[in-house]
A and B are shown apart, each in its own frame.
Chain A
Amino acid sequence: MPQEPNQPFKRAVVALSGHPNGQRLVKLVAELAKVHKAELVGVHVVEVDWSMPLDMDVAGRSDEIQQVLDLAEGTAEAAGVTLESVLLQARDVGAALVDEALERDADLLVVGLAYRTKFGGDFAIGRTIPYVLKNAPCAVWVVREPIQEETS
């Protein structure tokens, strides 16, 4: 698919973590994809511990896991865009996302970031996003959720 001038992306892989912020993320990307007629691939990665075989049936039978992708599909559809959903099992979420983006020749990888603090102190970014930022060959958008005002 030839990229048009001013088209920010032609195929985006959207990482779906299952966090409630994910729907906002999908809506945002879907609205942009609709304007620019881009393709969307929603990827949810289930991390499988080294103590278990990688091909063990962990994700396939879980309603909650399927729901993460189905909700994203529905959100994109409501915005008028088709989202191809992909469910992966991997040892490391970041590596699986980057590899999937590479395989699909995506020019954008979108990841959501929940606002968390480490033990109530420093802002915690986790290990997946630094890995993706460091290793993804395509553009990476990190969309952080708004900071919730603390109620005490």
Chain B
Amino acid sequence: MSDPRKPIAGRKPADRRVRVDRPHSPYFRYTGPGQLVAKAAAHEPKSALGRAWARFRKIAIGRPLASEEEIGERLSKKKALAIFSSDAISSSAYATEEILRVLVLAGAGVALSLSLEVAAAISVLLAVVALSYRQVCRAYPSGGGAYSVSRANLGALASLVAAAALLIDYVMTVAVSTASAVAQAYSVVPSLYDARIVIAVVAITLITTANLRGLRESGNIFAIPTYLFIFLALAMVAIGSVNVITGQAVPIEQADAVETGTETLGLFLLLKAFASGSVALTGTEAIANGVPAFQPPESKNAADTLIAMAILLGVLFVGITFVSDGYGIVPTVDGGQTVVALVASTVFGAGSPLFYLFQAATALILFLAANTSFNAFPRLAALLAIDGYMPRQFAFRGDRLAFSYGIVLLAGIAALLLVAFGGDTHALIPLYSVGVFVCFTLSQIGMVKHWSRVRDAGWWWRAALNGFGAVLTAIVLVVVASVKFLDGAYLVVILIPLLVGMMLFIKRQYDASRRELRVKPGLVFKAPQREERAVVPIPGVNRAVIQAVNVARSIAEDVRAVFITEIPEDGAAVRAQWERQVPGVPLVVVESPYRALTGPLQAYLDVLDSNWPKDKPEPITFVVLPEYVARRWWERILYNQSVKRLRSALLGRPHTVVVNVPYRREDPSLSDRTPSAPDEPKPT
């Protein structure tokens, strides 16, 4: 390397110039006096292991993105319908089956005669919820999730209940949608049934990886499967309905149908069927949450899209139920075809290309529905972290601008649920709806309060509509929670208060630490006038110790070494060597007959404190710990265990600062060639 300060000759003798080195340039960029912005190279790891890990991450999730590389794309209504509606519309793939699975307990005939009425009742509920959320789109153009609406109108506790319910809802969306998508796959290839959990976990892993890479939902890749499903499902409903109405539909023979007629029909069974089918409403709130993503006028476009989505969902849900009734389709035993697959194979023809295409589209839209939660959950967790209700890590964005902690947590819990419930959609459903209806209810109550506070033109009928929605969803919430309580809803009923308690606890901890760390604005801080002393606990005399003592000497004038040993003879030997080789630094040998290390050192420090003159301010005690840095990661377990124990023991000690002095084997300053250290022992 050439000398950076060596003058370079110009064309004339007087035109010399000096090139000035800019060592910060590869790592930082100045944006103002004393203000730097780190470049990508600044966070590249220095160790071989770190570099290998970074290479792996780059392959797995892509190169790190700078914050300004985030792309914000506004969505047209057509694109937004595809992107925000996959969760809601995809629920039509399993909602009918959930109704039938309950009603068949009272007999196949009863199931077929009443399922349409139950589906119609749920569609009325859907209409009310959609109209209520339409109001949310208009009132909260910045995004009206249940958490935001509750926080703005109902206070912290209600917003936390909404947040807890939403978090559960998002986890359940991933678990249920993935399980249902896999069910569509084994409806076509029955041999996949045994591998359903593995397939589901692999699918979640792939979606997680894609999201950690910073997958955006704005691409056409998301619109195609949604529209394909909508088109094929509408065609299936239309063809099937014509067949049923014209009397061409002949009830199919099912060899693997579930056992029917084990219970008598009563109000409880009807309510349970209603509660099970109400999973069709999950995902209805997604558009209200995402109003800012729409092209202007955002609120109007979002409200229109919401209504279009509700109509599509209603038509598909009622349509699939009507056709399945017409063909006398009842659910199959575990591992058999899903109801929607049976409808498709009956209408399109078993083994026809359209049947396979429909099944593929259904599985894809269900995976997309799972993916929507991978956007929503981490964002909500980040919002909660910013508000102090969740650990701050959830607000950090990873290399690819994704909220990595939230994504990984969501994937982990959803995968665990899938494993725990055997990848069975029907086993998971009872946990699903409770959280959704808690959100609906709180959101609608919040909106009533919003309208009564704002009181703009037509506020009373807007408040009445949201009020009606709130009452209706509250009733459904009670029904869902009570009729499915023993089937698993109790878990959610327990989990919501637990999550709220956890969030309040975290908030209290953060508030307490903030209060403790707060600096009064009026105070001006001057340099401290306190004395300093340094204590160096030593395991013997070696290069790491010498280096630590030298650091201690640069910190304070009062330096002493402490050697704690259980063998008195060792103490004498170390003292002899110490006094010969490290003159000027007193050594205290502490014999420890109970073989303890941290206790005697802490006690010694306490004694030092108590000997300090009472009229002088407490000194700052620097405990300087020599630490040997192993070259390889696997060697590290062999060293510094005592140092770690001492550091942990001293961390909370008042007026004490723990200083780690790492000694690297290749450190030339203390090599054998150094005249001041001719015959030191090898590092321990």
Contact = CB atoms under 8 A, between A and B. Distances in A.
B29 A70 contact: yes
A90 B31 contact: no
Contacts of B17: 45, 54, 88-90, 95-96, 99-100
Contacts of B7: 54-55
B15 A90 contact: yes
Interface of B: 5-8, 10-12, 14-22, 24-25, 29-34
Contact of B18 (A73, A88, A98, A103): A88
Contacts of B32: 63, 67
Given A91-B15, A96-B10, A99-B15, A67 B22 contact: no
A92 B34 contact: no
Interface in A104-142: 135
A60 interface: yes
Given A63-B30, A92-B15, A96-B17, A87 B10 contact: no
7 contacts: A55-B7, A63-B32, A66-B22, A73-B29, A85-B22, A90-B17, A135-B11
B19 A98 contact: no
Interface of A: 45-46, 54-55, 59-60, 63-64, 66-67, 69-71, 73-74, 85-92, 95-96, 98-100, 102-103, 135
Contacts of A87: 19-20, 22
A86 B34 contact: no
Nearest to A78: B68
A105 to B, nearest CB: 15
A20 B15 CA distance: 27
A106 B18 CA distance: 19
Nearest to B17: A90
Contacts, number: 80
Contacts of B15: 90-92, 95-96, 99
Task: List the 3 shortest-distance A-B pairs measured between CB atoms, nearest first.
Answer: A90-B17, A95-B15, A67-B30
A102 to B, nearest CB: 7
A64 B16 contact: no
Nearest to B22: A87
A86 B4 CA distance: 12
Contacts of B14: 91-92, 95
A50 B22 CA distance: 24
Contact of A86 (B19, B30, B31): B19
Given A63-B34, A91-B15, A99-B8, 13 more contacts: A45-B17, A54-B17, A55-B18, A60-B21, A67-B31, A70-B31, A74-B29, A87-B19, A88-B17, A90-B10, A92-B14, A95-B11, A96-B10
Contacts of A98: 11
Given A55-B7, A70-B29, A95-B10, A89 B20 contact: yes
A88 B20 contact: yes
A98 B20 CA distance: 17
- Considering residues B6, B14, B19, which has the most beta carbons from chain A within 10 angstroms of its beta carbon? B19
B18 A89 contact: yes
Nearest to A103: B8
A69 B16 CA distance: 21
Nearest to A91: B14
B22 A91 contact: no
A64 B32 CA distance: 7
A90 B20 CA distance: 10
